[in-house]
Chain A
Amino acid sequence: MPLVSRRPSGRTRRVARRWGRWIALVLVVIWSLFPLYWGLSTSLMSSGAADSLPVHYYPHPLYLSNYGQLLNLQHANLGTLPYQLRQSLLNSTIESVGTTVLTVFVAIFAAYAFARLEFRFKRIILVTTIATLLLPAYATLLPLYKLMTSWNLVNTYLGIILTNTSGFLPLAIWILYNYFQGLPKELEEAAFIDGARPLEALARVILPLSLPGIAAAAAVTFLFSWSQFLFPLILTTDLRSEPATVVIAALYGPRLVAFSLMAAAGMLAIAVPAALALLLNRYIVSGLTAGATK
């Protein structure tokens, strides 16, 4: 008898718990997206509409002119601002792609050596490499500024790419090292029996199987590069190499540009990483949690 009378209450509790979970998930999504929604919404308003009361919670009518002006699709009275933004986005792209290619290239060889070859001091080299993940930017900030100055690499793509690569290599190696270790050794051994050398085994057997790991290392490296601010701030002084983060900070600092236009500039600066994060989400998740479960 007690069992029977408890049944409905157990069911309502389960239903309530399910609804509670869904409401909580909706709140999580609102928390994750609201600032982005707000920026997008403001970027689609004229500055008059954005800076008027009561606060507008969505753009009506849609105003595309902020983007039109910034992308030079329509005449604008903004001086060199559209040029600065476009050039800086190009710089961000070149620096992020350059960093990603160089980092992944160096990391593949290093990770292969750590995962498959036996050599003296292997453990200490691996631990030292991974331990540098704990070094903050400030550990190297001023000396790198001096080095780049003395090498004439201030205001160059190469200066930024080398700095980025030194910072992001350890994580890329860690991701690929974990990935290579998960591959069965038998496949390479078969190639060795056929007379392949280690580098041939790497190119023909391991790399084709490692595309998800390489995608993870590349995506994470690209996103880190695109987000960089402190190092480019000290290593660039003009549009020869200033990335979008530095230009946007400089435009926003004096608070002279209308916010709806700043928001549009911000949206243009996050378009590439946002698209990448959504498309390559699976690889980013696996990259960021590489080895985290040990």
Chain B
Amino acid sequence: MRSQRQRLAYILLAPLALFIGALTLYPTAVTTVEAFFREYSLVNNHNFVGLKNFHDAFSTPAIRQSFVNTGIYVLSGTVLSVVLGIAFALLLRQRSRWRAPLLALVVLPWALPPVVEALLWSRIYDPTFGPLNGVLKSIGLISHNQVWLGSNRWEALVLIELVQVWQTTPLCVLLILAALQLIPSELYEAGAVDGASAWHGFRYITLPLLRPGITIAMVAAITASLNIFDQPYILTGDASASASVGVQTYLVSFQNLNFGEGYALSLIMTLATAAISLLVLRLVYRRVEF
């Protein structure tokens, strides 16, 4: 009976093993190994070259720049998504008949393809017909139309990331809201009896108990922004001023057909994603008990 069930378990897991093994773990292993070999997709010579692919990649100024760009994407994206996520979740915390429809609207940007979202935002940033210039001019913040995605590199990076923040924030809201709803209201009542203000309640009750939710939201925002591709690809194409490491990986591999460097960049992205996620889990996560 027991061995029969054990056999059944392995039969049920066989399709999963096939998918994860053949299409996830094996390719990841290939990326890891191939990063250290010379490989052009056209010329099929294949020999160990050590760190040469990494060295070649980093001696390209556009690729070095893409690492700085990605750093800006990650920093601005994580801060904005998590702060907005906390703010929106606090606003949506109260149960009412409006909450479910509001939540449905808030989640909407998460559910749509980033390619189309970037297309729509490109119009908002349009120097001539875009509503961003229109609104800023009408409230007097700027006197004439700005070119948002061209003139100032740092500004362009944050505005491109904002398109991704628009998509990632709903996920952060849901994750933080889920943690928020676990906090028993008695804690706040006890705090009120002790004379705690709303700010104190947030600072000393809500925030510490939200740590598990905030951690997962941070990991979600970091992985999204670290691997950003669709938004810069649509908004600024192959312009290296705002290309992410992801965009450069694509260009190096499929435009320059230099798979060796493509593997090296892929491996860096993979290791960075895993390392930063685990670091955040270690540093920010605290198990909370109620």
User: For the complex, is A155 an interface residue (Cβ under 8 Å from B)?
Assistant: no
Q: Does B105 contact A (CB under 8 A)?
A: yes
A–B complex contacts, Cβ < 8 Å, 19 sampled = A24-B91, A35-B166, A36-B108, A38-B124, A106-B19, A109-B12, A132-B24, A135-B270, A139-B31, A141-B31, A141-B253, A144-B27, A169-B19, A223-B111, A234-B250, A245-B116, A263-B120, A277-B107, A285-B107
B282 interface contact, C-beta 8 A: no
Residues from 137 to 174 in A contacting B, C-beta threshold 8 Å: 137-144, 146-147, 162-163, 165-167, 169-170, 173
**Contacts A55-B134, A110-B13, A129-B20 known; A138 to B269 CB distance under 8 Å?**
yes
| Segment touching B, from A62-70, A71-79, A117-125, A181-189 | A117-125
Given A110-B12, A134-B223, A227-B113, A117 and B6 contact (CB-CB distance below 8 Å)? yes
Q: Give the contacting residue for A35; candidates B10, B120, B171; CB below 8 A.
A: B120
Taken together as a complex, chains A and B put the C-alpha atoms of A281 and B170 apart, in Å, by 12
Question: Which of B13, B22, B28, B178 makes the CB contact (< 8 A) with A109?
Answer: B13
CB distance from A59 to the nearest CB of B (A): 14
Known: A34-B124, A113-B8. 13 other contacts (CB 8 A): A113-B9, A119-B6, A136-B223, A137-B227, A138-B227, A139-B28, A140-B24, A229-B113, A249-B233, A270-B112, A276-B111, A281-B100, A292-B212
Is the Cβ of A53 less than 8 Å from the Cβ of B119? no
- Per-position binary interface string of chain B over residues 1-40, scored 1 when its CB falls under 8 Å from any chain A CB and 0 otherwise: 0100110111011011101101111111011001000000
For the complex, give the distance between the alpha carbons of A44 and B227 in Å: 34
Taking a contact as CB atoms under 8 Å apart, the answer to whether B107 and A281 are in contact is: yes
State whether the Cβ of B246 lies closer than 8 Å to any Cβ in chain A: yes
The count of residues in chain B whose C-beta lies closer than 8 Å to any C-beta of chain A is 93
**In this assembly, does A84 line the interface, its C-beta being within 8 Å of a C-beta of chain B?**
no
Let me know if A209 is at the binding interface, CB within 8 A: no
Contact check, B9 vs A119: say whether CB atoms are below 8 A apart: yes
Q: Chain A interface: which size bin?
A: 35 or more
CB of B241 within 8 Å of the partner chain: no
Are A119 and B10 in contact, CB atoms less than 8 angstroms apart? yes
Determine whether the beta carbon of A277 is less than 8 Å from that of B108: yes
Chain A interface helix/strand/loop/mixed: helix
State whether A269 and B6 are in contact (beta carbons under 8 Å apart), knowing that A32-B105, A142-B263, A292-B175 are contacts in the complex.
Answer: no
Asked whether, in the complex, the Cβ of B20 is within 8 Å of the Cβ of A132, the reply is yes
In the bound assembly, the distance between CA atoms of A293 and B24 in angstroms comes to 27
B107, A136: Cβ atoms under 8 Å?
Answer: no
Interchain nearest-CB distance for A13 vs B (Å): 10
The chain A residue with its CB closest to the CB of B5 is: A117
Leading 6 A-B pairs by shortest Cβ distance: A166-B23, A277-B111, A143-B27, A140-B27, A143-B30, A119-B9
Q: Chain B residues near A266: list those with CB within 8 A.
A: 116, 119-120
Question: CB of B203 within 8 A of chain A?
Answer: no
Is A214 among interface residues, defined by CB-CB distance under 8 A? no
Q: A110-B12, A135-B273 are in contact. Are A35 and B121 (CB under 8 A)?
A: yes
Q: Which residues of B contact A117 (CB under 8 A)?
A: 5-6, 8-9, 12
Q: Does A252 contact B (CB under 8 A)?
A: yes
Inter-chain contact A252/B234, CB cutoff 8 Å: yes
A25 with B175, Cβ < 8 A, contacts A136-B273, A142-B263 known: no
Are A162 and B23 CB-contacts (below 8 A) given A39-B120, A266-B119? yes
Contacting pair B112 A230 (CB below 8 A) = no
The yes or no answer to A51 lying at the interface (CB within 8 A) is yes
Q: Tell me, yes or no, whether A112 is within 8 Å of chain B by CB.
A: yes
**Closest residue of chain B to A55, judged by CB?**
B134
Q: How far is the CA of A262 from the CA of B277 in the complex (A)?
A: 37
* Contacts of A242-293 to chain B: CB distance below 8 A: 244-245, 248-249, 252-253, 259, 262-263, 266, 269-270, 273-274, 276-278, 281-282, 284-285, 288-289, 292-293
Q: Would you list which residues of chain B between 76 and 91 have a CB under 8 Å from chain A?
A: 87-88, 91
A213–B212 CA distance with the chains assembled, in angstroms: 23
B150 located at the interface, meaning its Cβ lies under 8 Å from any Cβ of chain A in the complex? no
Residues of A within 8 A of B171 (CB): 288
